[in-house]
A and B are shown apart, each in its own frame.
Chain A
Amino acid sequence: MRVQIDETRLFVISDLHLGNPSSTARSRVVPFLDHALDVRANICINGDGFDLAQTSFPRLAGDAVPVLGRLRKLQESGLRVYYVVGNHDMALEHFLSDLVFTELAPFLNVRSGGRRIRVEHGHLYDPWFVRVPRIYDAGTKLIGHALTIVPDIYSTYARVERRIDSWRSERSGTVSADPYHGAAERLAERGFDAMIFGHTHNAETVDLGGATYLNSGNWMRSNSYVDIDEGAVSLRRWDP
């Protein structure tokens, strides 16, 4: 397990949820990976690249093949492909580690341009996932069944999540009441210059006063990614 890496250029994407009935990632991520090949950027899939928790197996098979093919092409060209495990793909851990073209890790400490950057999926800081894992798991599966019947429920779910988050922030008077921001602060105390999470599906950049928290968002219905370039870290949207 290698968690310390040195990279000049790295694109971080997360939450593709390939195999999930709601995921439309495949059509966008394949040209995005071609773009990474063109600009010689290494790739990190920061968790939930594949979805076993809410999967449709025919969908997973259809989505995975072209994406894995592109990742292999990147690797054959000399680029590196990293895979950070999330909560929807934990069961795929052994399968993924056998794919020789990915380096699998629970998190990555990236050194780039003299800066230290943590890349981590972030589910460890999800209060529901940590405190009531069985309820979380049951809820995830239940939503998975609903998604199979009505895939667009995801959009409604995402809107409700955003509303709840905004309400919580307004009520507390500070955005740092968010558990992910708090977790990023703990890492900043250890000297990391930037922390990149996924999991929440909400792309954002937060200045922690001397360090920066970024969330790479999702590719289920969106196309945001984090670009690490010689230590500079920025949240971008893929627009082919």
Chain B
Amino acid sequence: MDEVEAARGRGGLNRITSRRAGLLRPYGVERRAAAGEVLVRQGDTDREMYLVRSGRVQISRDIGGRRVVLGEIGPGDFFGEMALLESEPRSADAIALEDATLLVIGPGTLLMRIRNDPTLAVEMLQRLSGRVRSLHARLADGFGDDGAREFDGL
């Protein structure tokens, strides 16, 4: 078994190195964050969503003066989509737990991104569906057996 480096006879590994930075803007912009940096703050009214390319980010919110950690996300995950899709203030804080690289997508670039990267829409829907399922399960737990039956019928 030989490694095939260029089956189309282009004489070895092809290289593309110069275009990415220039073309990134129509599809979102790259942002680098240092560990501890606050990326979005609860109540802010900016509208971008963030895709985590590297590093880890903690999502937390203030509930009655108490800081509640909602989760940690890593490469491939995203946050901030609720503010983008609903034009509502940020519902939670996002803080880089370590040096991180993110792709920032604004309302104007979302459709362009999905048009050229359509599987992003499927990944977003899948994750949002997972969150709805998780919330349903927690609500049903809270209602107890009778409440769960009533809830299922909603």
Which A residues lie at the B interface, using CB under 8 A? 1, 3-4, 106-107, 109, 116, 118, 120, 124, 162, 165-166, 174-176, 181-183, 185-191, 202-209, 217, 222, 224, 234-239
CB-based nearest A residue for B55: A191
A199 CB, nearest partner CB in chain B, Å: 14
Asked if A175 contacts B16 (CB within 8 A), the reply is yes
Asked if B4 contacts A209 (CB within 8 A), the reply is no
B-side interface size class: 35 or more
Given contacts A3-B122, A174-B16, A205-B14, contact A189 B1 (CB under 8 A): no
* Bound CA–CA A238/B53 (angstroms): 34
Asked if A207 contacts B122 (CB within 8 A), the reply is no
Point out the residue from A106, A181, A204 that lies within 8 Å of B122, measured CB to CB.
Answer: A106
Which residues of the partner chain B approach A4 to less than 8 Å between Cβ atoms?
Answer: 76
Asked if A162 contacts B8 (CB within 8 A), the reply is yes
Asked if B53 contacts A239 (CB within 8 A), the reply is no
Given contacts A206-B13, A208-B20, contact A191 B3 (CB under 8 A): no
Point out the residue from B19, B103, B122 that lies within 8 Å of A185, measured CB to CB.
Answer: B19
Residue B117 CB within 8 A of the other chain: yes
Which residues of the partner chain B approach A118 to less than 8 Å between Cβ atoms?
Answer: 119
Point out the residue from B1, B19, B118 that lies within 8 Å of A238, measured CB to CB.
Answer: B1
A145 CB, nearest partner CB in chain B, Å: 28
Which residues of the partner chain B approach A209 to less than 8 Å between Cβ atoms?
Answer: 15-18, 20
B107 CB, nearest partner CB in chain A, Å: 18
Interface 9-residue window, one of B21-29, B89-97, B141-149? B21-29
Asked if B122 contacts A191 (CB within 8 A), the reply is no
Residue B60 CB within 8 A of the other chain: no
Asked if A207 contacts B16 (CB within 8 A), the reply is yes
CB-based nearest A residue for B77: A191
Which residues of the partner chain A approach B72 to less than 8 Å between Cβ atoms?
Answer: none
* Bound CA–CA A174/B18 (angstroms): 10
Point out the residue from B13, B19, B103 that lies within 8 Å of A205, measured CB to CB.
Answer: B13
Which residues of the partner chain A approach B113 to less than 8 Å between Cβ atoms?
Answer: 186
- Residue among B14, B75, B120 with the highest chain A CB neighbour number at 10 A: B14
Can you spell out 10 A-B residue pairs with CB atoms less than 8 angstroms apart?
A106-B119, A109-B123, A174-B16, A183-B117, A191-B76, A205-B4, A206-B15, A236-B4, A237-B2, A239-B1
